[in-house]
Amino acid sequence: MKDKFIHPLADVKTVKIGEGTYIWQFVVVLDRAEIGNNCNINCHCFIENDVIIGNNVTVKSGVYLWDGITIEDNVQIGPNVTFTNDKYPRAKKQFVLQETFIKKGASIGAACTILGGLTIGENAMIGAGSVLTKNGPANQLWYGNPAKFIKEL
């Protein structure tokens, strides 16, 4: 059994963290979030309440995971990836939560923007710097702004 590691400079409220998971400094995790086994949550990340992270997931620095995001097993999220969950954001207004699903084995490159309400399919890859405005189907590479289909993987 591998122990989990939570850096003393992290602010982790949840108890739902799997074995072998590392959470580094300046990470904030709210109390209802769930993080699986053998994950690596790099420094300067924020994980909101209604977020589920599977096993063997890497979340690089500067990623904020908002309510409504589900990440399955073996996913790579590059540094400074931006997720949204509100189609029409306004300060201090109620909104319709958009759920986002990142399926098993997917990879999201550095500095991508992922609009809310999308699904990135199994083993899909979103190239660095892309803006994903449509679902990223399984086993496909999408790249650009807006992201377009490039090839089957």
Q: What per-residue confidence (pLDDT) applies to 153? A: 97
Question: What number of other Cβ atoms are within 10 A of residue 99's Cβ?
Answer: 14
Q: What per-residue confidence (pLDDT) applies to 1? A: 66
Is residue 73 scored above 70 in pLDDT?
yes
pLDDT in tens, 55-67: 999 999 999 999 9
Nearest CA to 64 among 132, 114, 5, 129?
114
Q: What per-residue confidence (pLDDT) applies to 2? A: 82
Q: What per-residue confidence (pLDDT) applies to 134? A: 98
Domain holding 76: CATH number? 2.160.10.10
80 — pLDDT class (breaks 50, 70, 90): very high
48 — pLDDT class (breaks 50, 70, 90): very high
Question: What number of other Cβ atoms are within 10 A of residue 96's Cβ?
Answer: 10
Domain count, the chain: 1
137 — pLDDT class (breaks 50, 70, 90): very high
pLDDT in tens, 94-129: 999 999 999 999 999 999 999 999 999 999 999 999
Domain that holds residue 67: 5-152
Mean pLDDT of the chain: 98
d(CA 107, CA 149): 15
The answer to whether 21 touches 35, Cβ cutoff 8 Å, is yes
The answer to pTM > 0.85 is yes
